[in-house]
Amino acid sequence: MKSEYNFSKGKRGAVVRAPKGKTRITIRVDDDILEWFHGEVDAAGGGSYQTLINNALREHIKSQQEPIEVILRRVVREELTAVR
């Protein structure tokens, strides 16, 4: 370890910029919710809990916009496909 460091060319802020279409935010999530998402990622053999949360939020938004009849038809189709 050096006894002195030169930070004259240092920059403030995040080193890695968020990709286009992504926004970095800070939110507070209940511990049990976060643990559940971490558990799901672990059970799947790895991945990103943040991606899983993003997908869950996207599904929720989609379900709010989709009429119940459309949801029901999709679920029935999925179940029939799984049985075959």
Three-state SS string over 5-69 comes to CCCCCCCCCCCCCCCCCCCCCCCCCCHHHHHHHHHHHHHCCCCCHHHHHHHHHHHHHHHHHCCHH
Q: Indicate the average pLDDT of the chain.
A: 90
Residue 38 is assigned to a structural domain of this protein: yes
Which domain, by its residues, includes 64?
31-83
Q: What's the pTM?
A: 0.59
Residue 37 is assigned to a structural domain of this protein: yes
Reported as a pLDDT band with limits 50, 70 and 90, residue 14 is low
Residue 14 is assigned to a structural domain of this protein: no
Number of folded domains that form the chain: 1
Residue 36 is assigned to a structural domain of this protein: yes
If we measure between CA atoms, which residue out of 27, 54, 23 comes closest to residue 41?
A: 54
Residue 75 is assigned to a structural domain of this protein: yes
